[in-house]
């Protein structure tokens, strides 16, 4: 196994723990400690592979032993509950799909690890969809302007205190917004929802008429 066979899975485990730290609102330096623990536990998982015959059970056991000791030590140093470090750092070891061939022949991994190529491809696809799909602004049946979804999301993320009131004021003044594009339903999301609602009502009415006719018979 080369260096990249260890480095990429460990960095992926580090990044996964970092994301969960953000979700759980764990702040630095606890965020860094949890993420390092996740990366190191996965490194132990890989290192003991040749010694255990690439047994998932034994690899996970020794990784969990190391992680328990690491979390206990960090908790004592920072005088914090050990569960805060243990639960997040343990997430990469939760059963799931794994990186094929990254820990030896015949292994079945416990964590989903994306290659840099997969990550870059996903980001490019996300950027492309955000660029070709758009939010349209309509007033009195005419389209006034349109904005790529990527720009809209960036503006909402950077200036929510400006964009949200601006959109609400526009709605009050009679402007209407519609999401449209090649990856969205024809007529926009709202138009598609209205069509589905109308179809559902039509089916319900037909069913009621059939039941009424059957009762008359």
Residue ranges of domains in the chain: 3-114, 129-216
Distance CA 15, CA 17 (A): 5
| pLDDT, position 103 | 40
Q: How far apart are CA 97 and CA 66, in angstroms?
A: 22
User: What proportion of the chain, given as a percentage, has pLDDT over 70?
Assistant: 77
pLDDT over 80 (residue 104): no
Quote the DSSP letter at residue 99: -
pTM for this structure? 0.45
Considering only residues 215 and 175, tell me which one the structure prediction assigns the higher pLDDT.
175
Q: What letter would DSSP give residue 108?
A: -
C-beta of residue 108 within 8 angstroms of C-beta of residue 57 = no
Q: Name 158's Cβ contacts closer than 8 Å, sequence gap at least 6.
A: none
CA distances from 105 to 4, 60, 101, 108 (A): 16, 17, 6, 9
d(CA 67, CA 92): 11
d(CA 198, CA 192): 10
């Amino acid at each position: 196994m080369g260096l990249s066979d260890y480095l990429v899975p460990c960095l992926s485990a580090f990044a996964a723990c970092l994301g969960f730290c953000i979700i759980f609102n764990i702040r630095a330096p606890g965020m860094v400690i949890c993420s390092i623990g996740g990366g190191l536990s996965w490194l132990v998982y890989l290192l003991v592979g040749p010694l255990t015959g690439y047994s998932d059970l034994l690899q996970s056991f020794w990784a969990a032993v190391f992680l328990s000791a690491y979390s206990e030590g960090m908790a004592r140093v920072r005088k914090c509950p050990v569960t805060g470090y243990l639960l997040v750092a343990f997430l990469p070891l939760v059963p799931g799909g794994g990186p094929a061939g990254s820990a030896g022949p015949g292994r079945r991994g416990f964590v989903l690890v994306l290659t840099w190529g997969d990550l870059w491809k996903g980001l490019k696809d996300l950027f492309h969809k955000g660029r070709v799909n758009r939010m349209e602004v309509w007033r009195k049946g005419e389209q006034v302007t349109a904005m790529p979804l990527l720009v809209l999301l960036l503006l909402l993320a950077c200036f929510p205190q400006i964009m949200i009131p601006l959109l609400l004021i526009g709605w009050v003044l009679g402007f209407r917004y519609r999401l449209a594009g090649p990856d969205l339903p024809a007529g926009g999301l709202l138009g598609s929802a209205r069509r589905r609602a109308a179809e559902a009502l039509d089916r319900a009415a037909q069913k009621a008429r059939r039941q009424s006719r059957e009762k008359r018979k």
